[in-house]
Amino acid sequence: MGALSDAAGFAVTVTGNAAAAGRDVWWSFEATDDPDTDGDEFHVDVRFLTNPGHAYEMAVHRNGCGSEEQLATGETDAFDWYTDFPTTDQNCTEDAPCGEGDCVAAPGEDGKNTCDDDTAMFYVRITRGDGAASCDSYELELSNGKYTAP
């Protein structure tokens, strides 16, 4: 699908269905993190714009398709992974990164995290929760930098 840059707040919309029982569809994209000097806009968001009867579900993976890279499963509305929130050093992990919304380019400023390059591949798997065949279409929006942290 290509790259989605956080600098541009870029989004793409895709559609699909489960015309065959048990079908799954994979979408992949590179979410790129531009060089940050005064705050980070990195905010990957994947959301159903249309999901008839909440029948379709998404699983989202970062940097691989295996279970160890899975960030979410069974989502019927939306999923996001972001660093565009204020600095914190509490409970920082790869699945829940530290805030970089007010980060700085060079280390050493008290109370500020250094801006990291969070560029990563994201893989989104779409399935029907009941596994049934259906011609009902879903519409999915994939974006980076379009939305901001809550």
Question: What are the pLDDT digits (tens) for 113-122?
Answer: 777 888 999 9
Q: Is 2.60.120 the CATH classification of the domain at 3-144?
A: yes
Three-class secondary structure of residue 77 per DSSP: coil
β-strand partners of 17: none
Distances from the Cα of 69 to the Cα of 33, 56, 58, 61, 105, angstroms: 19, 21, 14, 5, 28
Mean per-residue pLDDT, 61-90: 87
The contacts of residue 85 (CB under 8 Å, 6+ apart) are 99, 100, 101, 149
pLDDT value of position 35:
80
Mean per-residue pLDDT, 45-66: 96
- The domain ranges of the chain are 3-144
Give me the chain's average pLDDT, please. Answer: 86
pTM: 0.85
Residue 87's pLDDT band, with cuts at 50, 70 and 90, is low
Strands 78-82 and 43-50: antiparallel
Question: Which has the closest alpha carbon to 142: 40, 10, 32, 24?
Answer: 10
